[in-house]
């Protein structure tokens, strides 16, 4: 059974290093999700890693890769959001814009198994222009992912 791990990052360099090291550690790129509001930053990330190029999703939100499941829930943000990985499918499928709390980022994150209070903190981080990396990994990879996060400037929420 996969474990969902979440890291919050502020610096673009930390984000890029983290994704590259996760790939090098054998984490499947399809299991890596990235959610944030800095569209250009995540476009650069997709160009420098194996993550898919950004695509325009419902409600003029930007989505990368498999996080299309989560992206529509980002309609609560005042600026376009970028996402990549498994979390995006929920978001893009919802196709919601505006301030619909039914499809807020918090709600979407809870649908991935994150407790509501924790998900709300992650949404606040994204609203502060920080970036989330979500990884569905095998329990045997948990320590390695945790080390990569810590070595690359993960912020505690």
Is 98 a member of any domain? yes
- pLDDT (0 to 100) of residue 106: 81
Residue 37 — pLDDT band, cuts 50, 70, 90? confident
Is 83 a member of any domain? yes
Number of domains in the chain: 1
Residue 129 — pLDDT band, cuts 50, 70, 90? confident
The model's pTM: 0.75
The pLDDT of residue 20 is above 70: yes
C-beta separation of 112 from 134 below 8 A: yes
Give the DSSP letter of residue 35. E
Is 23 a member of any domain? yes
Is 19 a member of any domain? yes
φ/ψ region of 44 (left if φ > 0, alpha if ψ in -120 to 50, else beta) reads alpha
Q: How far is CA 113 from CA 45, 80, 137, 138, 145, in A?
A: 26, 24, 14, 15, 18
The share of the chain scoring above pLDDT 70, in percent, equals 66
Residue 74's domain spans which residues? 3-150
- pLDDT (0 to 100) of residue 110: 82
Residue 35 — pLDDT band, cuts 50, 70, 90? confident
Is 81 a member of any domain? yes
Is 157 a member of any domain? no
* 6-16 average pLDDT score: 92
C-beta separation of 142 from 3 below 8 A: yes
C-beta separation of 18 from 71 below 8 A: no
Is 85 a member of any domain? yes
C-beta separation of 33 from 134 below 8 A: yes
Is 156 a member of any domain? no
């Amino acid at each position: 059974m996969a474990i969902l791990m979440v890291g919050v990052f502020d610096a673009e360099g930390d984000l890029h290093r983290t994704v590259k090291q996760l790939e090098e550690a054998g984490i499947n790129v399809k299991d890596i999700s990235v959610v944030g509001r800095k569209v250009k930053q995540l476009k650069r990330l997709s160009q420098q890693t194996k993550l898919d190029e950004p695509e325009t999703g419902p409600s003029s939100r930007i989505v990368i890769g498999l996080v299309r499941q989560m992206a529509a829930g980002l309609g609560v943000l005042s600026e376009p959001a970028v996402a990549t990985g498994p979390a995006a499918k929920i978001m893009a499928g919802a196709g919601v814009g505006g301030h619909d709390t039914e499809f807020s980022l918090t709600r979407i994150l809870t649908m991935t198994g994150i407790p509501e209070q924790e998900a709300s903190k992650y949404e606040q981080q994204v609203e502060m222009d920080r970036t989330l990396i979500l990884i569905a990994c095998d329990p045997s990879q948990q320590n390695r992912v945790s080390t990569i996060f810590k070595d690359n400037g993960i912020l505690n929420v």
